[in-house]
Amino acid sequence: EAEVAQSPRYKITEKSQAVAFWCDPISGHATLYWYRQILGQGPELLVQFQDESVVDDSQLPKDRFSAERLKGVDSTLKIQPAELGDSAMYLCASSPGGLNSYNEQFFGPGTRLTVL
């Protein structure tokens, strides 16, 4: 069964350092999402891609976060510099997407980031 892949699964870094997370969506899924989940909360959308284009990054802290999906397949989320408050689970999801589709999303296992 096809799955969304994420790496690394765990990342520990010191504040002010740069970190990067990678996501490979299910093959053929046009829409890719990055969510951040703070412990005890539900996921919050950071950025949404349709193919290689950003559709929604209204909740992405653009002063330190960046995301790209250059070839419309896999994606990278970067934080530079990391802050203590960035400690969270970063989840990637994909969906077949497209107009008039009902968006069941398929989630990867997540990357747990700890900033010291």
Partner 1 sequence: SQQGEEDPQALSIQEGENATMNCSYKTSINNLQWYRQNSGRGLVHLILIRSNEREKHSGRLRVTLDTSKKSSSLLITASRAADTASYFCATDRYSGGGADGLTFGKGTHLIIQP
List interacting residues with partner 1 (CB under 8 A).
Answer: 4, 30-31, 33, 40-45, 48, 50, 56, 89, 91, 93, 95-110, 112
Q: Round to whole Å and give the CA distance between 66 and 42.
A: 22
Cis amide leading into 61 (omega within 30): no
Q: Which is nearer to partner 1, 81 or 109 (CB)?
A: 109
Q: How far is the CB of 100 from partner 1 (least distance, A)?
A: 6
Helix H or strand E segment including 13 = strand 10-13
Q: Which is nearer to partner 1, 79 or 93 (CB)?
A: 93
Q: How far is the CB of 40 from partner 1 (least distance, A)?
A: 7
Positions of E strands within 14-110? 19-24, 31-37, 44-50, 53-56, 65-68, 75-79, 88-95, 106-107
Q: Round to whole Å and give the CA distance between 35 and 109.
A: 12
Q: How far is the CB of 67 from partner 1 (least distance, A)?
A: 13
User: Virtual CA dihedral for 22, 25, 27, 32, nearest 10 degrees?
Assistant: -120
Q: How far is the CB of 82 from partner 1 (least distance, A)?
A: 20
Q: Which is nearer to partner 1, 81 or 107 (CB)?
A: 107
Q: Which is nearer to partner 1, 82 or 97 (CB)?
A: 97
